[in-house]
Amino acid sequence: MRLHIRTPLIVASMVLLTFACASAVEITVSTDPPYEAANLAQNPGVEEGADGDPAIWNLSTAVPANFTVGRAEEGEGRNGTRALHMIAHDDVMSGYWYQSVPVEPGDYVFRGWYRTTGGRMLMYAHGRNTEIVPPVGVDARAFHGSSIASFLVPVFIPHEALTGPDPDTYYPFSVLATVPEGLEQITLSMGMYFTPGEAWFDDIWFGPAELDLTVRVTGEGQQIASLTVLREGVEAPVYRSADDPACPAGQPLPDPFEVTIEGVDMRGTYTIVAETTAGEEHRVLFPGEAQ
């Protein structure tokens, strides 16, 4: 009986899918190595662990009584997932969620997302080796306290000068960390300092500062006129097919069309725009919504 009911539904949905594919421009974005595989942070989306005890992540503070911490309930993280959660009850001390990762000399990017009801937040990648002469270390910091547009710039912004962030919105942070010779481990910390408040952290990424980005676009029945890669907050495009000698002027792009952009700055958020010859725009984000 059930089969009889379900069969027509399955056929109907397959037909719909076929129609959708017939006119869908498809843009795929990949990096080498793949973005997720390049992430040295463990349990980056905080989906592993128990409610009061997220796997891998630990709390660092001199006054534990000032903080209520745990793994946020499903739905409180980005895209309805879980996240690191922290309540600072008073302004007496700082507290940070942290984990340590192995590193080699070179440039890394520490990035992720947070939301907050208010308060001063610091996200930093830090490490020190005092067993060698001279001692070496890194301390790369991103201070945040509000919802202004320049979050991708790792500079100090006086909290008092800003309006409060939207407590329901996740905001990105990112910071460049240059690891010197002699430093084999770095600690990723995210927390609140000397202000009461509540904060959530999610989708943490720590990996190479630059990756090669490959964009592939297919028209699936439509012709692609142009492909553009834009970095949020930066006016000049990272890539434009119109400037690419490999793309014949005044003609649609080959289908499929694929381009690799070398050394893309992983501090950035990118929008890939494919425009069809009919003037339709198709966009995807990198990193993607769930990254």
The DSSP letter of residue 166 is P
Instruction: Name the β-bridge partners of 141.
Output: 124
Query: Which residue, 36 or 107, has its beta carbon nearer to Ca ion?
Result: 36
| Interface size with Ca ion, residues (CB under 5 A) | 6
With the CA atoms of 265, 267, 271 and 272 taken in that order, what torsion angle do they form, in degrees rounded to the nearest 10? 30
Cβ 78 to Ca ion shortest distance, Å: 6
From CA 119, how far away is CA 191, in angstroms rounded?
A: 10
Residue 112 lies near Ca ion (rule: CB under 5 A): no
From CA 141, how far away is CA 36, in angstroms rounded?
A: 23
Cβ of 223: how many Cβ atoms within 10 Å? 13
Binding mask 194-233 for Ca ion (x = CB under 5 A): --------x-------------------------------
Cβ 74 to Ca ion shortest distance, Å: 9
Query: Which residue, 82 or 120, has its beta carbon nearer to Ca ion?
Result: 82
Sign, CA torsion 161/166/167/171: negative
Binding mask 2-41 for Ca ion (x = CB under 5 A): ----------------------------------------
3-class secondary structure for 248-269?
CCCCCCCCCEEEEEEEEECCCC
Cβ 150 to Ca ion shortest distance, Å: 25
Interface residues for Ca ion in 32-91 (CB under 5 A)?
Answer: 45-46, 77, 81-82
Cβ 47 to Ca ion shortest distance, Å: 6
Binding site for Ca ion (CB under 5 A): 45-46, 77, 81-82, 202
